[in-house]
Structure 1
Amino acid sequence: MEWEVNSYYTLIAATLVLLLGKFLVQKIRFLRDFNIPEPVAGGLIAAIILFVLYQTHGVSFKFEKPLQDAFMLIFFSSIGLSADFSRLKAGGLPLVIFTVVVGAFIIVQDVIGVGLASVLGLDPLIGLITGSITLTGGHGTAGAWGPAFEKDYGLTGATALGMASATFGLVFGGLIGGPVARRLINRQGRKPVENAVKVDDQASASTDNVFEKAQQTRLITADSAVETLALFAACLVFGQIMDSVDAEYFPAFLNLPKFVWCLFGGVILRNILTAVFKMDMFDRAVDVFGNAALSLFLAMALLNLKLWELTGLAGPVTVILAVQTVVMIIYATFVTYVIMGRDYDAAVVSAGHCGFGLGATPTAVANMQSVTQTFGPSHKAFLIVPMVGAFFVDIINALILSGFVNFLK
């Protein structure tokens, strides 16, 4: 029996998951020590409860996806609206270096996936599905490539496998990021800092605080909230239009996910308004809406986690995903951390890389937030990780995947 849950009740359930996660993180030291994000903590408990209901009573729930997708688009729009060109210039060489590090890992991910699939007697394309298609790419990329594999290459069940693998990555990307960063930070001897930081209204207006201090008080007004919602609406409209144009006229050339177009829209809108019209962007409101959208997106994604589908994965596929998780931990520890400088910022960047290297950019930001709330701010990490994870990685991943598919077939 499957019960359909409409968008209103899905939103209510997501807020309850977030409150549960906040309560668990406050009360359970293990979750705080390993910097587990609140949406992941609450979402996993909810997923386990739903799994028990399914196993004992055969009842499953189908939570409507439109709100989840909308919150994801709002989150990426907020990244674009926060990215003025002066901040991109401030990223400088670290931004370029991290992009190269991420691109190299995508190749490693696909080589391991294809190699293990071949050794275990599976179609090599399954290796790509359990590689960067679903892990670096996430649910959106899985949804794009799955039907193509089924239609063009006869790979039955590619979409379902992709969704299950992407869900696996989303969960484990949120689980390993905090512990990896904490281990690296402990090596440095850095101690936790006091969470309660008093800031005034002027200080909280800095764009450097966007996403970095999710718990910081930000003073906004009704007018600024409405103006900010109008900016988000413009980004969503731009994303919708460009996604349709992309699908109709450039399906083989671009085929970028809609959230990338929303991010592009935010970047364009932000810089036109500030550079041409000299508008003073209200970054505090963008920050608040973006962080709220991030938390709600993760909560809804985990509500839609069907653990019985993960347990139904074939043994070889489970092996591949487990190996990919271990490789992500090793790469973040010995490559990302080392190349990015072996300092505190590099540790926070490593947590973010775990988030979108296995899951998604929202998971990366949540991982970094959970670390910086304990050990202090990292302007460098919050400057480069969201831009690489949401802006560059999908383009790089698409090019690399096209090369692998052409090579394999």
Structure 2
Amino acid sequence: MTSTLLTGIGELWTLDPALDDPARPGGVADGQVVRDAAVVLEDGVIAWTGPAASAPPADDAEDLGGRAVLPGWVDSHTHLVFDGDRAAEFEARMAGQAYAAGGIGVTTEATRSAPTERLRTLTRARIAEATRGGTTCLETKTGYGLTVADELRAARLASLLIEDGELDEATFLGAHLVPAEFAGDADGYVDLVAGDMLAAVAPHVRWIDVFCEEGAFTPEQSERVLRAGAAVGLGLRVHGHQLGRSGGVALAAALGAASVDHLNHLGAADVEALAATAVHPTRAADTPGRLAVQAGPTVATVLPACDLSTRAPLAPARALLDAGAALAIASNCNPGTSFTSSMNFCVATAVLQMHLSLAEAVRAATRGGALALRRSDVGHLGAGARADLHVLDAPAAVHLAYRPGMPLTHAVWRAGQRVV
């Protein structure tokens, strides 16, 4: 085994779970940020962190010149497998046209028409772009095919990218929108999603998701899809409350979903329901069927870049944290409503406009995303974690919000290998 010592770290954010302060569940505790620090990487994992003066010897060494080091971003919500462009839709929205779920159909048509090798090339390029911005753990969804063959193609592509070590998590989102060929027969399409489509796709993914929203799927239809996924061992995720109080929060909490994402329109009862899952998690395994994903809270995942791109009310991240809910920040990279994978931008927006502290935003974009994916190996730099590091071209992490929009990613390690 070869070890590497990284020194010259002005500020090291380990976010080590062993040092969590139960009184500050959404924040960063004393000891989780170390100044004048060092890190030892060995065999792809974190072997040691601490003050540079106490660093053990290693086979190789690199001086980072006083820069800040964070865990790599964990982006728990993206839609990377697509072809086509919706810049005209974005331009119209900026001119005052309201966002509606139907624009997904434009991407569906382009994606169905794309050769598989083109989809692979486009997806890999988007992953590489995210990596260059400090993201080291990525989830992505199907959902732009909406036929058995096209959803299976997207799932297989994602699965192969996971096998190749480029991607981390894949989600089946056949219930993204009712396609044109099922117009007027949403229940018939739900039968397909929960039946033949799920059976084909399930071996290639870990999660199932549904767009529980007016113009997409009702809570009753969404529940059918999620229960079918749980019955074959998939973990549950929900798109909800983006366009209105859709019922997605109550459904996600009741079924023990790992996350519910968007959350622009919440009432007090919705906030309380999410906070309650952090205290008394509903185990999805308690619902009909079995589940291969461990229990935990239903993580409230906010998507700041999407909120700006759709001119929607910002998700109430501050109120969610204050109530005790588990919070994640993700990019929602997709062609229609958030065509960015910049987690730096999302973190800066959360601080500047959602009223989170820097520590809360950094934790939500690392530990929060890992929790939403039910992973303990990423999102922190505690001993034994995957050696995913994001080195900033700045002496402290506060520069992410202090200098918004600047190219602050200096270097990235993923699983112990420098990739940027």
Task: Report the TM-score, using the length of structure 1 for normalisation.
Answer: 0.24
Instruction: Identify which of structures 1 and 2 has the higher relative contact order when contacts are C-alpha pairs closer than 8 Å and 6+ apart.
Output: 1
Task: Report the TM-score, using the length of structure 2 for normalisation.
Answer: 0.23
Higher helix fraction (1 or 2):
1
